[in-house]
Amino acid sequence: MLKQACLARPGGPSVLTLCLAICAAALSFPIRGAQIAGGADGDGVLDLKGKPVDLFASPAAVQVLLFVRTDCPITNRYAPELQRLHSEFASRKVNFWLVYADPAETAAGIEAHVAGYRFPGVPVRDPHHMLVKRAHATTAPEAAVFDAAGTLRYHGRIDDRYVDIGKARAQADIHDLENAILAVLAGKAVAEPETRAIGCSLADVE
C-alpha cells in the first residue's frame, strides 16, 4: 500500500526514489518489533503458564528474589534453609519468589525441581534476565531483597556457609538474607547490603 502511494505521488525520479526508501525503512520497524515481542518467551518475566507477571505489583513489605538453577548442587542444598526462612517470614508480608533465569528451563522441569526439593515461594521464569539485571545477581543461589517501594536493599549470599566451591562450613555463622529481611522490616539500613554468593554462574545461561 505504501509503495502504491509512492507511485501515485507526483514528482520526478529522485522524489520517487526517496519516497520508496522512506517506505522501506518504515516497514522494517514493525518487522523487528514483531520479532522481539513475538518470541517464544516474550520480553518479560513469566509465570509457569507463560503469562507475564509483575513481582513488584504484589503487595508486600519485602520482596525476596531467590535466583536458582535446577542443575546447581549448591542451590539444592539450600532448600532446608529457604524453607526455614519462608516459615519465619511468610506471615509478615514477605513474598518469596524463585527466579529461574535459564531460558532453556521448561515449566515441567521447574515444577519437578520445586516439588523435589520442596522449595518455598512462587517460581517464575526470567529468560531475558530482566530480574537478574535489576537485582545485580550473578550466581545461583543468590538472594535479592527489595523493600515495599521496589528499591533493592540487599543482594548476595543466603548465608556464609559456603566459603568457596567445594569448601563449606558445618553450619553458617552469618545469616545474611535473614538479617537483611529483618532490617528492611524494621525500617533500618541493611548492615552489609552486598555480599559475594558462591554457586553456579548465571552468565552461563544468558
pLDDT at 167: 86
Query: Exposed, middle or buried by CB within 10 Å (0-12, 13-18, 19+), for 33?
Result: exposed
Rounded-to-integer distance, Cα 154 and Cα 106, Å: 29
3-class DSSP assignment, residue 197 = coil
pTM: 0.78
Do 32 and 107 touch, CB atoms closer than 8 A? no
Q: Is 155 helix (H, G, I), strand (E, B) or coil?
A: strand
Nearest to 159 by CA among 131, 129, 192: 192
How many angstroms from the chain centroid is the CA of residue 161? Answer: 24
In the prediction, which pLDDT does 168 show?
A: 86
CB 100 within 8 A of CB 68: yes
10-residue averages of pLDDT along the chain (206 residues): 43 44 37 28 80 91 97 95 96 96 95 97 96 97 97 98 87 96 97 96 87
Q: What is the pLDDT of residue 6?
A: 47
